[in-house]
Amino acid sequence: MRLFLILFSLVFFVSCKAQNTVAQETITNTQTTLAENPKLVVGIVVDQMRYDYLTRFYNKFGEGGFKRLINYGFNCKNTHYNYIPTFTGPGHASIYTGTTPKYHGIIANNWYDKVIKDQVYCVNDNNYDPVGTEDKYSQVSPGRMYVTTVSDELRLHTQKKGKVIGIALKDRGAVLPAGHAANGAYWFQGKDEGNWVTSTFYTNRLPNWVEKFNNSDIAESYFKIWNTFYDISTYTESGPDLNNFEGGFKGKETATFPYNLEILKNTNKGYDILKATPFGNSLTTDFALAALDGENLGQDDITDMLAVSYSSTDYVGHNFGVNSKEIEDTYIRLDKDLERFFNALDVKVGKGNYTVFLTADHAAVEVPSYLQSQKIPAGYYDLNDFKTKLNEFLTKTYGASDLLENASNFQVFLNRDKLSLLGLDLQLVQQAVVNEIISYNNIDKAYTATSMSNTSFNQGVELLLQNGYNQKRSGDVLAVLDPAYISYSITGSTHGSGQSYDTHVPLLFYGQGIKKGSTLKHVNITDIAPTISALLGVSYPNAVTGKPLEFVLD
């Protein structure tokens, strides 16, 4: 018996020691894992980038820009927006919150506010003043976004030791990704100023590094001749330079290369012309590199985040269209800027010490007039005619001429006070509007707000509409146009629909913690934020509906 007790004690001691050793190794391994977070996360949003730009222009790209992400990172080839409408404000908000307008509240760039009975802008906030400019347009904040972003969660997780900076030519492209708790967000004030600015939401004065950048002649140096980077005869991935489907610049008879920006700036709002050329992206890269140094990003073991949005691609696309020589040259030059950016990150942060994701806030439709020339169904919709016809219907049916309060973003807002005064049932009037407008040419579908609230859709355009429908902010009736029909000029491209040409965007991950590979699995844009959250080990944004992409993470 005594021998048994001795042997039992010995086995128990060895077992406990082994378990303690394993436990200690587990703790050590866990600590090692937690310490391996990237020093910097760089989120890149390319405004109005279609997925097929990666494949169309692939042979024109160098090895260090897009191809670096594609060949040495992870390429999600089937990434889509899962809501309507596909605009810049909602896109940036959805990427960083991991949810849709139904929850984050940014339902468009501008929308009709049912409470104040007026249009509002997604980042306008009169509680704050502009900094670095007198332009009241820069009274902005992320206050209209209801929920947190992955950048907010990083700030909370690190007790605000991890820095977050947002940068874009467009204020909404800088403000919404940076979130509510950011150290700073900066955008470009054009016209006769040419400065990077912010608002008192972030600071009462520009940091010294921003003032130094503004006082340089970097912005002014881009007033030069915009010609194709390579010989234009080699631009075989786009249509002819001279065609009927492009807008162009005031002061130049044709929308053809070259463009003398020094001359054209006088008739095209000064520095604003840079936004509509690839040099706007170059200027953004210049400023992002200045931010790396000025804010000491990625210089310690606490993760920082830099959110960069390249806006010029959107301006060029709207002006010249997705099949233009101008858009091809813009992406060739953006590829060079990305290479310059990544090379600087290698030096300043360290190769292997940072993580990048690149995506787009929406894509774009081929110019409908061009599609028509190719005998493909497409066209244009007159929104004013829509309003007139609908108003006539409501007046004739209910005997009141002011029941249509607003129609914008293809949403109908009814005058609910007047409906109540007349004793009319809101749901019945909503359905009557649906029954009326579905008979209009080129209105493909229409749904009431009641159906959006009371019915759970699980596929198709109905699901996309529901994901974009916010009870407090959206209209009484939602309409959808026929595919490739837009309410826009007959030149240039636009976006906003739930069709694949607007929803299908690139999504590339690269760097620390990212596997090398690709997938054709369907991915939602709302999956980006939880994936980055999982990579960093921080809480998901508080209204997240997306899921982490496990197959991306190493």
E strands, 71-176, are 74-76, 79-80, 110-113, 118-121, 130-131, 164-168
**Pair of tokens at residue 157:** 């997780």
- Percent of the chain predicted with pLDDT > 70: 94
Asked whether residue 292 carries a pLDDT value surpassing 80, the answer given is yes
Instruction: Please state, rounded to an integer, the average pLDDT across all residues of the chain.
Output: 94
Task: Give pLDDT tens digits for 318-355.
Answer: 999 999 999 999 999 999 999 999 999 999 999 999 99
Residue 375, domain member (yes or no): no
Same domain, 462 and 522: no
Regarding whether 207 and 313 lie in a shared domain, the answer is yes
Q: What was the pLDDT predicted at 21?
A: 42
159 and 273 part of one domain: yes
For residues 220-227, average pLDDT: 98
Domain interval for residue 327: 40-367+496-536
Judge whether 10 lies within some domain.
no
One domain for residues 319 and 343:
yes
For range 358-387, the mean pLDDT: 98
Q: Please confirm, yes or no, whether 88 is among the known catalytic residues.
A: yes
- Answer yes or no: do 317 and 419 share one domain: no
How far apart CA 220 and CA 194 sit, in angstroms, is 8
From the list 79, 86, 88, 355, the catalytic residue is 88
- Residue 377 is assigned to a structural domain of this protein: no
Residue 401, both tokens: 């001429």
Is 452 in the same domain as 506?
A: no
Q: Whole-angstrom Cα distance, residue 28 to residue 404?
A: 66
Domain count, the chain: 2
Owner of token pair 């899921």: 547
Token representation of residue 215: 């006082």
Note whether 179 and 101 are same-domain residues. yes
pLDDT in tens, 64-113: 999 999 999 999 999 999 999 999 999 999 999 999 999 999 999 999 99
pLDDT attached to residue 36: 83
Residues in the chain: 554
In angstroms, the CA 428 to CA 439 distance is 17
Residue 205 covered by a domain: yes
| Sign, CA torsion 391/397/400/402 | negative
Distance CA 75, CA 56 (A): 16
Q: Would you give the DSSP letter of residue 339? A: H
End-to-end alpha-carbon separation of the chain, Å? 53
pLDDT at 31: 38
Please check whether residue 3 lies inside any domain of the structure.
Answer: no
The DSSP bridge pattern shows strands 411-414 and 404-408 to be antiparallel
Q: Write the CB contacts of 246 (distance below 8 Å, at least 6 apart in sequence).
A: 255, 319, 320, 321, 324, 326, 491, 492
The fraction of the chain above a pLDDT of 90, given in percent, is 93
Tell me: do 269 and 176 sit in the same domain.
Answer: yes
The reply to whether 214 and 128 lie within a common domain is: yes
pLDDT for position 26: 39
By CB atoms closer than 10 A (0-12, 13-18, 19+), residue 123 is buried
Residue 196, in any domain of the structure: yes
pLDDT band at 30 (very low <50, low <70, confident <90, very high): very low
Indicate whether 1 belongs to any domain: no
Q: How far is residue 466's CA from residue 457's CA, in Å, rounded to a whole number? A: 7
On whether both 400 and 506 belong to a single domain, the answer is: no
Tokens of 286: 């210049």
* DSSP bridge partners of 306: 42, 165
Q: Give me the pLDDT at residue 5, please.
A: 41
Is 240 contained in some domain? yes
- In sequence order, the β-bridge partners of residue 165 are 184, 306
408 shares a domain with 284 = no
| DSSP codes of every residue in 21-61 | HHHHHHHHHHHHHHTT--SEEEEEEETT--THHHHHSGGGS
Q: Is 18 exposed, middle or buried (0-12, 13-18, 19+ CB in 10 A)?
A: exposed
Residue 429 pLDDT level (bands cut at 50, 70, 90): very high
- Whether residue 414 sits in one domain with residue 269: no
Identity of residue 393: F
- Whichever domain contains 251, its CATH number is 3.40.720.10
Two structure tokens written together for 449: 């707000």
Report residue 321 as tokens.
Answer: 């269209």
pTM of the model: 0.93
Q: What is the CATH number of the domain that holds 460?
A: 3.30.1360.150
Which 3 state secondary structure label does DSSP give 133? coil
Strands lying side by side in the sheet with 304-310: 130-131, 195-199, 184-189, 164-168, 304-310, 40-46, 354-359, 507-511, 74-76, 517-519
Q: Does 3 score more than 60 pLDDT?
A: no
Rounded distance between C-alpha atoms, residue 105 and residue 90, angstroms: 8
Q: What is the DSSP letter of 497?
A: S
The helix/strand/coil state of 394 is helix
- Residue 23 is predicted with a pLDDT of 41
Angle (nearest 5°) at CA 205 between 200 and 206? 110
In SS3 terms, 418-468 reads as HHHHCCCCHHHHHHHHHHHHCCCCCEEEEEEHHHHHHCCCCCHHHHHHHHH
Per-residue pLDDT tens over the stretch 437-474: 999 999 999 999 999 999 999 999 999 999 999 999 99
